């Protein structure tokens, strides 16, 4: 790209709110990522920027805003758990998305690798060791190598255009040969 073609975000023909609304058209699952901070305190955050990366080695990624209150805790950790939420866990998603609350209030968490907190309820849980960190604009992209997984095969909680929902399979579709 020529230097004359480089533009700041403000010069694009759309606003931050336009971009956020358009990106919201891509339905995602909802996860809660947990770890321990340097003071051995449980830390957690609701995340929908989760994706698989590789089967061999088993890698997944998620991203965290540099402005997040718990950013430094997640940036400095070597271990974390990613919990894919089930369809009945909207309240838990909201609890971990809220600011200035005890996110682990009322939860009987178990301990995973390196003492990371594991939520008692989830659809799928991946326990991961940090593999890479990458710059991603106003976020950091965190790649983890899956150490263990637990799949309870529950219907996932989904999020699209600012609304929670669930997956309803279409019926009557034929398989491709």
Q: What superfamily would CATH give domain 29-160?
A: Electron Transport, Fmn-binding Protein; Chain A (2.30.110.10)
pLDDT of residue 101: 87
Phi, psi dihedrals of residue 107, rounded to the nearest 5°: -105, 130
Phi, psi dihedrals of residue 131, rounded to the nearest 5°: -110, -45
pLDDT of residue 20: 84
Per-residue model confidence as pLDDT tens for the chain (177 residues): 444 444 455 567 888 888 888 888 888 999 999 999 999 999 999 999 999 999 999 999 999 999 999 999 999 999 999 999 999 999 999 999 998 889 999 999 999 999 999 999 999 999 999 999 999 999 999 999 999 999 999 999 999 988 998 887 777 655 555
Q: Would you kindly state where each structural domain of the chain is located, as residue ranges?
A: 29-160
């Amino acid at each position: 790209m020529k230097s004359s073609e480089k533009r700041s975000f403000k010069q694009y023909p759309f606003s931050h709110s336009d971009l956020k609304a358009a990106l919201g058209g891509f339905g995602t699952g909802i996860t809660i990522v947990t770890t321990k901070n340097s003071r051995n305190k449980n830390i957690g955050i609701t995340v929908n920027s989760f994706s698989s990366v590789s089967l061999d080695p088993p890698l997944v990624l998620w991203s965290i805003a540099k402005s997040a209150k718990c950013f430094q805790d997640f940036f400095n950790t070597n271990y974390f758990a990613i919990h894919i939420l089930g369809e009945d866990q909207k309240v838990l998603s909201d609890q971990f998305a809220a600011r200035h609350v005890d996110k682990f209030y009322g939860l009987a968490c178990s301990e995973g690798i390196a003492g990371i907190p594991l939520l008692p309820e989830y659809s799928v849980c991946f326990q991961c060791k940090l593999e890479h960190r990458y710059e991603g604009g106003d976020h950091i992209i965190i790649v983890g190598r899956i150490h263990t997984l637990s799949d309870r095969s529950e219907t996932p909680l989904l999020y699209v255009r600012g609304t929670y929902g669930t997956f309803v399979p279409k019926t009557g579709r034929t398989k491709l040969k």
